[in-house]
Amino acid sequence: MSASAASKPKPAATPTERAATHVFTISEVLRELQNEFPDLTASKLRFLEERDLVEPARTASGYRKYCAADVERLRFILALQRDRYMPLDVIKQTMDAIDSGDTPEALPQAAPVGPREVTDEMAAQITGRIRPMSRKELRAHSGATRGMLDTLEKFRIIAADAEGNYSHHDLKAVKAVRVLARYGLEPKHLVNIRRSADNELDLISRAMAPHAARRDTAARARVAESSKEMLQCLKDLRGSIMDTSVEQLDKN
């Protein structure tokens, strides 16, 4: 089922509805949803439950039992997160509104959830074609010179892994630097961007430190999910500040 098909979720299932429908184990839920959401894991399902986004029934032995409405609810939540980049706290507000019979402002009926526009890079990710690149491949794909790559490594804009290979993130960074060069910005001018990124990573690390000390699977899933959510919020905040500043430049 596509993300758009999950644009009209039902409210949380009632006990009567649960009893009248087929129930799924956590493994069956994964089999049902992983074709659409390949990164979905049992830890992620448990994490969503901890955040009160879904509430599966429990057997006398404590095993989770999901009804069909729970599975559709999960599909909708995961689609919002993947396709709309919505943080979990906003998704929680959305689901609470739906459970109350309201139409959330963040998701008007006239704007159903749909899949993202698929770029070449996204298509490559989906098909598994993005792999670590050698320095030669990075140069070929980005059009950068050896000197530019040396400079970007010097200023920690890109970094090779232990095998001397580069990721698609490095490729994206090099392409961005080449565009900025058209406006007279050289790699040395981007040092503050690296410092800003380090500062943001430090904020995330400090916030996650109490949870990172735990080694259980649920804690690791919570750290990974919360870190992504914090990162997205920081990106949104930075973007909002920059947008406001650029608008002021336009008015001057």
Tell me, yes or no, whether 91 lies in a domain: yes
d(CA 212, CA 214): 5
Q: Are residues 81 and 145 in the same domain?
A: no
Tell me, yes or no, whether 18 lies in a domain: yes
Tell me, what amino acid is at 187? Answer: P
Tell me, yes or no, whether 169 lies in a domain: yes
CB-neighbour burial class of residue 242 (10 A; exposed 0-12, middle 13-18, buried 19+):
exposed
Q: Are residues 8 and 95 in the same domain?
A: yes
Q: Are residues 181 and 205 in the same domain?
A: no
Give the residues of the chain that fall short of pLDDT 70. Answer: 1-21, 101-131, 217-218, 250-252
Tell me, yes or no, whether 114 lies in a domain: no
* Range(s) of the domain holding residue 75: 3-99
Q: Are residues 205 and 240 in the same domain?
A: yes
Q: Are residues 172 and 206 in the same domain?
A: no
For residue 105, the model assigns a pLDDT of: 58
Q: Are residues 224 and 173 in the same domain?
A: no
d(CA 151, CA 145): 10
Q: Are residues 13 and 80 in the same domain?
A: yes
CATH number for position 81: 1.10.1660.10
Instruction: Yes or no: say if 188 and 153 are a contact pair by the CB < 8 Å rule.
Output: no
Residue 133, strand partner residues: 166
d(CA 225, CA 227): 5
Q: Are residues 93 and 136 in the same domain?
A: no
Q: Are residues 13 and 95 in the same domain?
A: yes
Q: Are residues 9 and 44 in the same domain?
A: yes
Q: Are residues 11 and 90 in the same domain?
A: yes
d(CA 195, CA 207): 19
Q: Are residues 175 and 216 in the same domain?
A: no
- What confidence tens digit (pLDDT) does each residue in 168-221 have? 889 889 988 998 988 898 888 888 889 999 999 999 999 888 877 777 766 777
DSSP string, 20-89: HS-EE-HHHHHHHHTTT-TT--HHHHHHHHHTTS---EE-TT--EEEEHHHHHHHHHHHHHHHHS---HH
Tell me, yes or no, whether 121 lies in a domain: no
Contacts of residue 174, Cβ cutoff 8 Å, sequence gap at least 6: 138, 142, 144, 148, 149, 152, 158
User: Per the structure, how many domains does the chain have?
Assistant: 3
Closest CA to 222 of 211, 213, 209: 211
For residue 97, the model assigns a pLDDT of: 74
Tell me, yes or no, whether 110 lies in a domain: no
Domain boundary pick from 159, 185, 211: 185
User: Beta-carbon neighbour count of residue 176 at 10 Å?
Assistant: 14
Tell me, yes or no, whether 195 lies in a domain: no
Tell me, yes or no, whether 82 lies in a domain: yes
Look-up of token digits 């070449």: 120
d(CA 73, CA 10): 7
